[in-house]
Structure 1
Amino acid sequence: MKERPIVRERRLKYSTLSTSTLTPAAIASIIVSMTRCDLCLAWNWEHDAGLARLLDEACARRGLTLLPVTPANLDPVLAALASGESRFRVFLDRASDSDPRFQPLVDWARTNSARRINPQEQARWTHDKATMHLEFLTAGLETPHTIILPPFREQPSLPPADLGPLGGRFAIKPGRGGGGEGVVLEAGSWEQAFAVRQQFPDEKYLLQAHVTPRLLDGRPAWFRVLACGGAVYPCWWDPRTHIYARLTAEESARFGLRGLREVARRIAQICRLDLFSTEIALTAEGRFVVVDYVNDPVDLRLQSAAADGVPDAIVESIAGRLARLAERV
């Protein structure tokens, strides 16, 4: 699933990025000076500016070069790549999902054997929640009780399903998409589920039981866990306010939460992405239930810039991990 909670999932358009003020000559100078760069970052979301800065700093510490590509310099970069004047070894795409103009850059990275962080075809596979649900079940991961409905266009008429195992209220989610688009959180009838399917007729739909987390010292045991390059970053995450707080080692030991890391590592083995996030709840029965499967691209707004952003230290560490991936190629 595409993780764009709150701001990003509303698909804010690219507006003012630092490179948008550069003259054509300055842009050309940047490209010429980076004829053989290490890491290319494609980004078009203004709130990724913090990540871009931290990634640039992480690359500089390792003696690596970063080529940031935004809508402002996309065309000259593509021209330089096509002519052979420029190349890059590693590619991180945070733009093509919302702006098809970046697709030629994605294609260049693939055809020229660049090391792609979260390859597009692999990421698209993980965006299918129905597929991920079945993969998780096969791997023995706990998930909410779920009924998967076929696309409306494939099967307009369906016999009523037994909704009893879902409880009195349940969520309806399209198989793809993110940020709550097409999601009904408080459904209660088969008629409602049947009608909602028509909103995205080519998508499968999931009817999913609600999960009630245990309270730990008054906090809901609901966690957003980020993973990057083998590192796992578990965070408290309030599903009502969307506020992060880093889970400390002391809290993990005191509340018996070490299993969060193991669940995240098993998800990494399934999805085979370098960078993703997931949501996991601890139930009253002591079960770790994965409630939001694989989020990509990850919302990496800095908490210092947005109250519901990711703690800055985590984003900085992720930037370091990404630079390390580039260093190893």
Structure 2
Amino acid sequence: MEIFDFGIGWPVTKEQDDLFINTLEAECAARKLSFIFVDDASLKDISTAVKSGKLKIKFYLDMASETYDFEDKFTRFAYRLKDAGTRIVADPDDVKAAADKSITHFDLVAARIPVPFTVVIRHWESRRRLSEEEKIGLGSPFVIKPALGYGQQGVKIISQKPNLKDIAEARKFDEEDNFLLQEFVRPQELDGSPAWFRVYHLFGEILPCWWHPETHVFRQVTLKEMDNHKLSPLIRITSEIARITLIDWFSCEIALNKKNSKFVVIDYMNDQCAIYPQSQHPDGVPDDLVIHIAGRIAEKAWEYVMGRFTLRYRAVWFPKVKVKEEEDKF
């Protein structure tokens, strides 16, 4: 049997200058972890080898499967690996529950995690009418989003008061999916920037970033900003989402609501995080963060392969700062 310590599923052919993949390979090599890259071209042969017992992958990072599509080749491959005893990030069964906003919403509410006022429209309620209380809670404008959507797909901002026609039109994106109607959250501004954050959870580590909701440009939150703007709720909220969803690596969006100066979770949980670097894409992830994420994933894979038991912990990773900034703080 051929055994690989680390595997990654990737839907397209690897590019030579892919910072994330190249860093992952280098970090695995530094730890003497054997590495296998699974793309669309190699998937069939690798899957057949796993099925026949000729190949085993110990730790697999799934960046390719369509969790709810059981005809998807990468989804079936993820389950084949799981059945063979592979440690998968993220486990497809955990993702099935956590990625469905119509499920996760109520889990967050039960845990008293702040979310926007929300009405869930089930896919069988095509003629569902809103009560006056629901219309008032949603306000105008409001947001319609599919429960299984990701990457802004299917999201619509409705400028007028809620009505049946708008809901029916939005549901055409996927009439078999549930939909969430949510109040539109306007963020406060902090030092001239909208207080809107994309926060990563990475095996117990919290990585907070400023994220502009219009330009989608990232910038890491510094230690000084965390203290000055009292941003510690980002840590607690993201950690609670991780506890509820059981997902090791994900991102969420959290905003400081202009209406009441309270933090609110806008986007609950996104696995298979987009990880293209800022040096190549203006709206990409800061390069230092891409490198750190790749290194930490390789480290957790090494711990798993070595059979080490690691306690979950909560930590925050900040970008490197100039010495002068640290002196100014104290």
- Answer yes or no: is the 8 Å Cα contact 1:96–1:106 preserved in 2: yes
- 1:322 equivalent among 297, 311, 321: 297
Deviates more, 1:137-146 or 1:314-323: 314-323
- 2:274 equivalent among 287, 292, 299: 299
- 1:90 equivalent among 59, 84, 94: 59
Q: Give, in angstroms, the shift of residue 290 of structure 1.
A: 0.3
Amino acid at match of 2:6: L
Residue matched to 2:189: 215
How do 1:263-278 and structure 2 match up within 5 A?
Answer: 263-278=237-252
For 1:229 and 1:274, locate their aligned partners in 2 and report how far apart those are by CA, in whole Å: 5
Q: Give, in angstroms, the shift of residue 198 of structure 1.
A: 4.2
| 1:46-80 CA-partner distances (Å, limit 9, x unpaired) | 68832211111111121211111112222332233
Regions of 4+ moved over 6 Å? none
Distance 1:293 1:47, change over 3 A: farther
For 2:14 and 2:183, locate their aligned partners in 1 and report how far apart those are by CA, in whole Å: 33
For 2:288 and 2:272, locate their aligned partners in 1 and report how far apart those are by CA, in whole Å: 19
Amino acid at match of 1:112: A
| Amino-acid identity (%) | 32
Structure 1 spans left out of the alignment, 5+ residues? 1-31
Other structure's SS at 1:303 match: coil
Residue matched to 1:121: 93
Residue matched to 2:163: 190
Residue matched to 1:156: 126
Deviates more, 1:242-251 or 1:71-80: 71-80
Deviates more, 1:157-166 or 1:125-134: 157-166
Residue matched to 1:60: 29
Amino acid at match of 2:296: R
Q: Give, in angstroms, the shift of residue 217 of structure 1.
A: 0.8
Q: Give, in angstroms, the shift of residue 182 of structure 1.
A: 2.1
How do 1:1-329 and structure 2 match up within 5 A?
Answer: 35-45=2-12, 49-97=18-66, 100-151=72-123, 154-162=124-132, 163-188=135-160, 189-191=162-164, 192-284=166-258, 285-329=260-304
- Answer yes or no: is the 8 Å Cα contact 1:126–1:132 preserved in 2: yes
Q: Give, in angstroms, the shift of residue 126 of structure 1.
A: 1.4
For 2:152 and 2:280, locate their aligned partners in 1 and report how far apart those are by CA, in whole Å: 23
If the length of structure 2 is used for normalisation, what is the TM-score? 0.84
For 2:13 and 2:52, locate their aligned partners in 1 and report how far apart those are by CA, in whole Å: 29
Distance 1:225 1:58, change over 3 A: same
- Answer yes or no: is the 8 Å Cα contact 1:172–1:187 preserved in 2: no
- Answer yes or no: is the 8 Å Cα contact 1:161–1:190 preserved in 2: no
- Answer yes or no: is the 8 Å Cα contact 1:128–1:175 preserved in 2: yes
Distance 1:296 1:47, change over 3 A: farther
- Count of matched residue positions in the alignment of Structure 1 and Structure 2: 294
Distance 1:104 1:129, change over 3 A: closer
| 1:203-244 CA-partner distances (Å, limit 9, x unpaired) | 111111011111111100000001111111100000000000
RMSD after superposition = 1.9
Structure 2 spans left out of the alignment, 5+ residues? 305-330
Q: Give, in angstroms, the shift of residue 38 of structure 1.
A: 0.6
Other structure's SS at 1:308 match: coil
For 1:133 and 1:255, locate their aligned partners in 2 and report how far apart those are by CA, in whole Å: 27
Deviates more, 1:95-104 or 1:213-222: 95-104
- Answer yes or no: is the 8 Å Cα contact 1:143–1:291 preserved in 2: yes
- Answer yes or no: is the 8 Å Cα contact 1:36–1:86 preserved in 2: yes
For 1:56 and 1:328, locate their aligned partners in 2 and report how far apart those are by CA, in whole Å: 16
If the length of structure 1 is used for normalisation, what is the TM-score? 0.84
Q: Give, in angstroms, the shift of residue 139 of structure 1.
A: 0.5
